[in-house]
């Protein structure tokens, strides 16, 4: 791809402080879970529209509705977020008027904050709204991300693994969490989608991990790395409201 752009701006402190925390509905969680759907870069190789691109990923993963890239880019342009945005800013806009796909409008449900350092809380939020689940919108530092997930030829495809991500607070990218489980279980889940994953040395099969969407692909991130890169996390409940 020609480029991998960022474009997330950290949410304002008063927004984070005043956010309603997500309270999980009591449910028995499976040991592993993976959302899947038709994905795209959604303009994030041309514009720093990662916050809006994540909304299209959410719609595909949670509702199996594919938004054409032209609609995503046009929506971001109309709402003046094509060149970057805060995560709550875009979610508020999506609550009022979401993507138009095949004559229907797909809005966001109400959004709440999630403790990304609490594995069980993340899993519970993701597992809500079955059968497809509920992606978690996160703001991360991406300074080391590209180098860690791209192939030797610079390409990017499903099945990459992030392990040992350095601690950093340059939160400038928006991605989506779409699965959870021990590393070995996620490897098997990816294999069921015909995606081969090779775990790096040092990452034991029992390590708790999450699946993450970025730049049109899905890969695996260990929980320690997630803690080192993440600065905010949000769940939309329900993930999609159809008008």
Domain ranges of the chain: 8-242
DSSP designation for 45: T
What pLDDT, in 10s, does the model give residues 43-91? 999 999 999 999 999 999 999 999 999 999 999 999 999 999 999 999 9
| Residues in CB range of 224: below 8 A, 6 or more apart | 164, 165
Tell me what pLDDT residue 227 has: 98
Residues of the chain with pLDDT under 50: 1-2
- Count of beta carbons in the 10 Å neighbourhood of residue 207: 17
- Domain 8-242: give its CATH code: 3.90.70.10
């Amino acid at each position: 791809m020609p480029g991998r752009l960022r474009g997330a701006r950290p949410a304002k402190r008063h927004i984070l402080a005043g956010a309603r925390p997500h309270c999980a509905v009591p449910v028995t969680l499976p040991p592993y879970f993976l959302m899947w759907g038709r994905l795209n870069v959604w303009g994030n190789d041309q514009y720093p529209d990662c916050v809006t691109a994540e909304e299209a990923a959410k719609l595909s993963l949670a509702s199996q509705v594919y938004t054409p890239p032209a609609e995503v880019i046009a929506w971001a342009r109309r709402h003046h977020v094509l060149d970057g945005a805060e995560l709550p800013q875009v979610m508020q806009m999506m609550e009022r008027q979401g993507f138009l796909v095949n004559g229907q409008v797909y809005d966001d449900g109400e959004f709440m904050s999630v403790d990304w350092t609490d594995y069980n809380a993340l899993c519970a939020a993701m597992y809500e709204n079955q059968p497809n689940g509920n992606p978690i919108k996160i703001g991360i530092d991406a300074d080391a991300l590209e180098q860690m997930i791209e192939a030797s030829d610079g390409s990017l495809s499903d099945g990459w693994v992030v392990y040992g991500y350095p601690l950093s607070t340059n939160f400038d990218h928006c991605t989506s969490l779409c699965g959870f489980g021990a590393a070995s279980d996620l490897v098997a889940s990816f294999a069921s989608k015909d995606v081969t994953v090779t775990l790096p040395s040092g990452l034991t099969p029992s390590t708790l991990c999450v699946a993450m969407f970025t730049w049109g692909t899905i890969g695996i991130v260990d929980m320690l790395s997630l803690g080192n890169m993440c600065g905010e996390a949000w769940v939309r409940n329900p993930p999609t409201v159809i008008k």
